[in-house]
Structure 1
Amino acid sequence: MTLDIQLGAQGADIPARGSLNGKSACCDHLDTVPAAEHGPPECAQCLARGLTWTSLWACLTCGWVACSDDSPGGHARKHYEETDHAVVVSLEPNTTWRWCYVHGRIA
């Protein structure tokens, strides 16, 4: 059996066509993102407002780094709503999951 592998944002090998457990199809939005280099590991909007974040996510389309949906600012979701950039990746250490806002699930 052959498995296509692509390099994830954290440098971990993850399946290119299939979920991490191989049981469901991968989000089609991953086919449209260029996996852009992300900016510094900080949410500029939170810093400007004096907020702290729970975790950081990077947009795979443009590299914008913003706070997660469970952070007070929820700036990653706001970025999606403004740009339609569908997929983000967690910047937390030792994680490789990606989230698709369009499908509302792990991509």
Structure 2
Amino acid sequence: MNECTHMDQVRDVKPHTRGCEECLKMGDTWVHLRLCMSCGHVGCCDSSKNKHATKHFRSAKHPIIKSNEPGEDWGWCYIDEVELDFA
């Protein structure tokens, strides 16, 4: 079973915005939201056309996101490619 080796980068973060930061600036829409657990950036998921959460990982190198959808407690480590449980 794969494990995440980047949990030390998880911080107690608050979302910067109520929607995808970049989509809001562009006046665009998203499907689901993801929260960067290193800095609080809110980006749209890979099902959204702009994929801002993944773009944030590639530029900032922050490896762990958490679903920012109500009632969802799962996360993802981009580097280790494993799902995480934040429940």
TM range (shorter): 0.7 to 0.9
Query: Quick one: percent identity of the two aligned structures?
Result: 36
Aligned to 1:44, which of 3, 7, 21?
21
Q: 81-90 or 39-48, which moves further after superposition?
A: 39-48
1:37 Cα offset (Å): 2.0
Partners of 2:34 and 2:9 lie apart in 1 by 18
Matched, 1:71 2:71: no
Distance 1:48 1:40, change over 3 A: closer
Aligned length: 84
| TM-score, structure 1 as length reference | 0.71
Structure number with the bigger relative contact order (C-alpha 8 A, sep ≥ 6) is 2
Name structure 2 gaps, 5 residues minimum.
none
The residue number in structure 2 matching 1:55 is 32
What is the alpha-carbon root mean square deviation over aligned residues? 1.5
SS of 2:65's equivalent in the other structure is strand
SS in 1 for 2:34: strand
Between the aligned partners of 2:7 and 2:67, the Cα distance in structure 1 is: 15
1: CA distance, partners of 2:82 / 2:18 = 23
The alignment's TM-score, normalised by the length of structure 2, stands at 0.85
